[in-house]
């Protein structure tokens, strides 16, 4: 019994010591905040959050330091905990409204600011809140419905308009011999003209929800290979809702592609997206999509499939002026053959990295590099093996703005596909120069 009591006394002493240490660190953080050293204060308080969250004074101090240090998501959580305990804490409500404002959640910011005004704050706070409300009004569209669009015309050169291999003939293991391909199926270079247009309409249906509808048209006409001319139309619609620093979106999309004036392929799918702004300059997200691909020509019906894809992404704004952006994404998917596709079902994963820099308000550049690995599950009857492939692509572009709505855009796409079946080894380079007009 004496031993048991001794252990209890020891544990109590440790707890008292830890509490005293935590109190000292909280006091030190308070001093750092008074000195304007918000990042140091945040770094001192963050390890204590697990033990002290729920304490009104700690959460207020931690939420304020997190907000000033740029960790907006953590700030909102801490300040919301303060208001859950004490809804009359005007200081917490003021800084929570500021956090929503930084996140561009203007509906949430307005709600908190207006609630603060209803609590009869001091004249100084009323004046500051009024300035924030004016800033929100200036940033929000004058109408609850916003329409944007663009038209673009360009010229380009494609090194492989057929998407065919350069090797000829192709050895067929099942036949034990090589078979020559038709010239029309081999790699072929051609120039083209491209016309495209798009329109998007967003209607705010509530303080946090909005409905969107959009569409795009595209037409590409080749100089020599008229039979490869394509026209496409795409439609999309959906609903999105904001929850503090998070956004959820559910949408439907459909498209139809014609080739040489004849119906070729139609697609339709459902997409669910989640985005979360962790801090002022950092965002993560996830997209789950299910898409059906169907061909109109009976000749290509065996190529029909359903695609299921999940992607995870992260985005970070860099530079003192926020003129640089870097993002990365990783995705996993499966193509489920609807009929007896020659190579069966296919599992894949892809990785991409994107960088963008804004030189001035009108001039910018971007680059994207991506990799996809694909494995089919059925042995190809002609090549006597399961098809495995990898695709690597580099996309780079420059935007030269002539005005806020008129720009010249140069884009280069370099891609290669490597397969254990040489028929699918493909190299391609595509260069486009386009003039684009945006309507805001």
* DSSP output for 85-104: H-TT-HHHHHHHHHHHHHTT
SS3 394: strand
- How do residues 294-348 score in pLDDT, each as one tens digit? 988 766 677 899 999 999 999 988 876 678 889 999 999 999 998 888 899 999 9
- How do residues 264-276 score in pLDDT, each as one tens digit? 899 999 999 999 8
Q: Look at the pTM and tell me if it is higher than 0.85.
A: no
Residues of the chain with CATH 2.40.160.60: 145-439
Interacting residues of 92 by C-beta distance below 8 A, sequence separation 6+: 59, 60, 63, 79, 82, 83, 86
pLDDT at position 286 over 80: yes
Share of the chain above pLDDT 70, in %: 92
Distance between CA atoms of residues 136 and 129, nearest Å: 10
User: Which is more confident, 252 or 177?
Assistant: 252
Q: Which fold has domain 2-139?
A: 1.25.40
Plot region of 69 (φ>0 → left; ψ -120 to 50 → alpha; else → beta):
alpha
Identify which of 314, 411, 305 has the alpha carbon closest to the alpha carbon of residue 365. Answer: 411
Cis ω before 197 (30° cut-off from 0): no
pLDDT at position 366 over 60: yes
Residues of the chain with CATH 1.25.40.10: 2-139
Please compute the mean of the pLDDT values over residues 411-415 and round it to a whole number: 96
Q: According to the model, what pLDDT value does residue 22 have?
A: 63
Place of tokens 């004249």: 123
Residue 174 C-beta-side C-alpha neighbours within 13 Å: 8
What b/e string do you get for 303-326 counting C-beta neighbours within 10 Å, with b at 16 or more? Answer: bbbbbebebebebebeeeeeeebe
Residue 95 C-beta-side C-alpha neighbours within 13 Å: 27
Please compute the mean of the pLDDT values over residues 81-86 and round it to a whole number: 88
User: Which is more confident, 278 or 5?
Assistant: 278
Q: Which residues pair with 332 in a beta bridge?
A: 310, 349
CATH class of the 145-439 domain in this structure: mainly beta
The set of long-range contacts for 347-351, using a CB threshold of 8 Å and a minimum separation of 24, is 347/374, 347/375, 347/377, 348/372, 348/373, 348/374, 348/375, 349/373, 350/311
pLDDT at position 232 over 50: yes
Distance between CA atoms of residues 299 and 317, nearest Å: 48
């Amino acid at each position: 019994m004496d031993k048991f009591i001794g252990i209890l006394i020891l544990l109590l002493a440790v707890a008292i010591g830890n509490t005293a240490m935590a109190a000292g660190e909280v006091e030190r953080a308070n001093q750092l905040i008074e000195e304007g050293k918000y990042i140091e204060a945040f770094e001192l308080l963050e390890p204590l959050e697990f033990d002290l969250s729920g304490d009104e004074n700690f959460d207020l101090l931690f939420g304020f330091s997190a907000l000033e240090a740029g960790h907006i998501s953590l700030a909102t959580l801490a300040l919301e905990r303060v208001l859950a305990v004490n809804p009359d804490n005007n200081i917490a409500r003021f800084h929570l409204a500021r956090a929503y404002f930084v996140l561009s959640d203007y509906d949430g910011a307005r709600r908190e600011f207006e609630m603060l005004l209803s609590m009869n704050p001091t004249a100084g706070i009323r004046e500051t809140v009024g300035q924030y409300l004016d800033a929100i009004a200036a940033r929000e569209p004058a109408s609850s419905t916003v329409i944007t669009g663009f038209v673009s015309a360009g010229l380009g050169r494609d090194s492989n308009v057929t998407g065919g291999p350069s090797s000829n003939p192709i050895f067929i293991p099942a036949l034990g011999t090589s078979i020559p391909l038709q010239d029309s199926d081999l790699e072929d270079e051609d120039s083209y003209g491209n016309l495209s247009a798009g329109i998007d309409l967003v209607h705010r249906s509530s303080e946090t929800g909005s409905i969107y509808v959009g569409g795009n048209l595209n037409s590409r006409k080749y100089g020599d290979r008229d039979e490869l001319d394509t026209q496409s139309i795409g439609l999309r619609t959906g609903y999105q809702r904001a929850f503090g620093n998070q956004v959820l979106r559910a949408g439907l999309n459909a498209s139809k592609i014609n080739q040489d004036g004849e119906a070729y392929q139609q697609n339709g799918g459902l997409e669910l997206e989640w985005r979360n702004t962790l801090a002022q300059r950092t965002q993560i997200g996830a997209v789950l999509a299910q898409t059906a691909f169907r061909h109109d020509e009976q000749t290509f019906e065996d190529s029909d499939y359903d695609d299921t894809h999940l992607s995870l992404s992260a985005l970070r704004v860099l530079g003192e002026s926020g003129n640089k952006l870097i993002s990365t994404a990783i995705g996993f998917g499966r193509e489920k053959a609807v009929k007896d596709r020659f190579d069966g079902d296919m599992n894949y994963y892809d990785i991409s990295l994107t960088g963008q820099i804004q030189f001035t308000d009108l001039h910018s550049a971007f680059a994207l590099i991506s990799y996809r690995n694909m494995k089919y599950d059925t042995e190809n009857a002609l090549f006597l093996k399961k098809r495995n492939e990898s695709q690597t692509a580099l996309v780079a572009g420059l935007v030269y703005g002539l005005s806020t709505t008129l720009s010249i855009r140069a884009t280069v796409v370099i891609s290669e596909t490597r397969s254990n079946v040489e028929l699918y080894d493909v190299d391609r380079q595509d260069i486009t120069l386009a003039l684009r007009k945006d309507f805001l």
